[in-house]
Amino acid sequence: MGDFIMEAGSSIGSSFLSSIIIDVRSPAEYEHAHIPDALNLPLFDNDERAMIGTTYKKQSREAAIKAGLPLFGNKMLPMIETVESWIAAAQKEKSLTKPTIYVHCWRGGMRSAAVAWLLDLYGYKVVQLTGGYKAYRNWVLEQFTIPYSLKVVGGYTGSGKTEILHALQEKNYSVIDLEGLAHHKGSAFGAIGQLPQPSQEMFENILAKKLWEVNKNKKTIWIEDESQRIGTVLIPTPLFHLMRNSTCYFMTIPFEQRLLFILEGYGKFDQQSLIEATERIQKRLGGLETKNAVEHIKQGELKEAFSILLKYYDKWYEKNAQNQVLPKVELIPVLSEMVDPNHNAHLLEKLSE
Q: How many residues in total does the chain contain?
A: 353
Residue 52 · residue 67 · CB < 8 Å: yes
Catalytic residue (one of 105, 235, 277, 334): 105
**Longest CA span, the chain:** 73
Judge whether 105 counts as a catalytic residue.
yes
Q: How far apart are CA 219 and CA 13, in angstroms?
A: 18
Q: How far apart are CA 347 and CA 325, in angstroms?
A: 25
Bridge partners of 333, per DSSP, are: 252
How many other CB atoms are found less than 10 A from the CB of residue 264? Answer: 12
Classify burial at 211, counting beta carbons within 10 Å of its beta carbon; exposed 0-12, middle 13-18, buried 19 or more.
Answer: buried
Q: How many Å is the Cα radius of gyration of the chain?
A: 25
CB contact burial 14-34 (16+ within 10 A = b; e otherwise): ebbbebbbbbbbbeebbeebb
- β-pairing verdict for 39-40 and 19-23: parallel
- Please give the positions annotated as active site: 105
